[in-house]
Amino acid sequence: MQLDIFEHSRDVMLRNDVLQALEHLDARSACASKQALALAYPCDDALPALSRLIEATTALVGQTEQPTALADHAALAQAQAVLTDEVTPAAQSLMEAKQARAWLRPFWQNLIRRSAHLPYRADTQAQHAAPMLLHIQDWQGAQDAVALVASWRRIPAPLAWMAQARLNLLGLQASWALLVELCWLSPQRLEAVVQNAPDAILKRLKAQFDAEFEPDAELTANPNEPDADLAWFPAWVLTERPQLAPQLALAQASTHSAPEQAMRLLLNLLGLERQGRHHDIVVHRKQLRDLHAGLYAAYLKTR
């Protein structure tokens, strides 16, 4: 049987007509093109996903023409779930990854606008503009949103959001202080920030830390905190990259935990070494050894 190329490509053309209209957020044209596809190919696999995207586009256009603020955090959570669990998979099934991300961006921006009045709440952290802005890679917008959270530098989630935004906006050198504070305040959140970081140096240092750092069983025996050792990462970084001392020294005082004390101690040690104050060096080294034997061993390897 000879294949009729034009006949067998007609379904593709009809689908593309729908997608082209959706690309321009033209819900009316998309609906008409989808009806033509359904009439010619009533069992086409793309019809359910196309219908969902048209429905979402119609709602988006309506919100653009007559915007309404979301009532509360629960309403935002519901809208996020629809976009994440229904609209996004439908778009990804019909578009290339980059195209789908670009197409979905106005939908996230719509949610951000409609929820801008909702304050940060610890019990509904995901229902805030900052993580949505990070999701669409609006780094400046995310930084501005976090800055509006009172005492954001003392709260794990906003601090992590700001660190991620700052890494992408200004780079690693300008972000070390926030990363250090996040290590001390919430090591598990730092893990997520590193995984999403654009900086290869940070990822290499973290991988080296994981491979080489010797944990202290007495200090990190809590099974509920699997990333607790990561709190020692800033102090360990100083043993590997002492030239980073000026950047790490900018970290604000935190909870005065043992990992924080160790980093401050190492900063003092580096200064004493430059001054050649041998007696004070001996005293500080003993204090470091008493704080964490594994960290002390890492420090000695470079001496």
User: Which band of pLDDT confidence, cut at 50, 70 and 90, is reported for residue 236?
Assistant: very high
Q: What is the pTM of this model?
A: 0.90
User: Which band of pLDDT confidence, cut at 50, 70 and 90, is reported for residue 111?
Assistant: very high
- Dihedral of the alpha carbons of 136, 140, 142, 147, in degrees to the nearest 10: 180
| Helix, strand, coil abundance in the chain, percent, nearest 5 | 75, 0, 25
Distances (CA, A) of 243 to 32, 269, 273: 64, 13, 13
Q: Stretch 205-226: mean pLDDT, rounded?
A: 74
Q: What is the pLDDT of residue 223?
A: 43
Residue type, 232: W
Residue type, 207: A
Q: What is the pLDDT of residue 85?
A: 98
Q: Stretch 219-233: mean pLDDT, rounded?
A: 69
What pLDDT, in 10s, does the model give residues 50-98? 999 999 999 999 998 898 999 999 999 999 999 999 999 999 999 999 9
Q: Stretch 139-153: mean pLDDT, rounded?
A: 98
- Name the token pair of 120: 């940060």
